[in-house]
């Protein structure tokens, strides 16, 4: 599972880099999407620390974390579209960045599904 996650993360970052570094596109503004990749899991980490009742089906803190995470993900998909709309980047670069976003965010989701169970093989031990 870890190898598959690392491979998919590398594929997503390759799409992002192709959207920036190809000679036809040549603009590095889409690299600001990396900020969204780093701040995406932060609401989940905060909700895990604050929430005491891990057995409850739903809590306000967890729901708020989902809300903020959804806002971050939607912003990451909207950012390259806005850049392409104001012609800061080309639409082909926007497509590559959106493909990279989809792969990276699915990789982050897969990481939390695989390693977030709370068993012996968990990211919480790292």
Asked if residue 14 is part of any domain, the answer here is yes
What pLDDT, on the 0 to 100 scale, is given for residue 119?
Answer: 54
Domain extent for 92: 1-24+42-49+56-113
- pTM > 0.85: no
Asked if residue 101 is part of any domain, the answer here is yes
Asked if residue 120 is part of any domain, the answer here is no
What pLDDT, on the 0 to 100 scale, is given for residue 58?
Answer: 67
Asked if residue 90 is part of any domain, the answer here is yes
Q: How many CB atoms lie within 10 A of CB 69?
A: 20
pLDDT exceeds cutoff 80 at 90 = yes
Asked if residue 119 is part of any domain, the answer here is no
Domains held by the chain: number: 1
């Amino acid at each position: 599972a870890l190898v598959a996650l690392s491979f998919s993360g590398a594929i997503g970052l390759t799409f992002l880099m192709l959207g920036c570094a190809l000679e036809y596109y040549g603009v590095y503004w889409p690299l600001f999407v990396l900020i969204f990749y780093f701040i995406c899991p932060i609401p989940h980490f905060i909700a895990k620390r604050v929430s005491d009742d891990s057995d409850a089906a739903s809590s306000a803190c967890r729901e708020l974390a989902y809300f903020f995470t959804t806002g971050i993900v939607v912003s990451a998909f909207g950012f390259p579209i806005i850049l392409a709309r104001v012609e800061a980047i080309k639409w082909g670069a926007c497509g590559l960045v959106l493909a990279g976003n989809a792969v990276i965010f699915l990789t982050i989701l897969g990481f939390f599904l695989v390693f977030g169970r709370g068993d012996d093989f968990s990211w919480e031990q790292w």
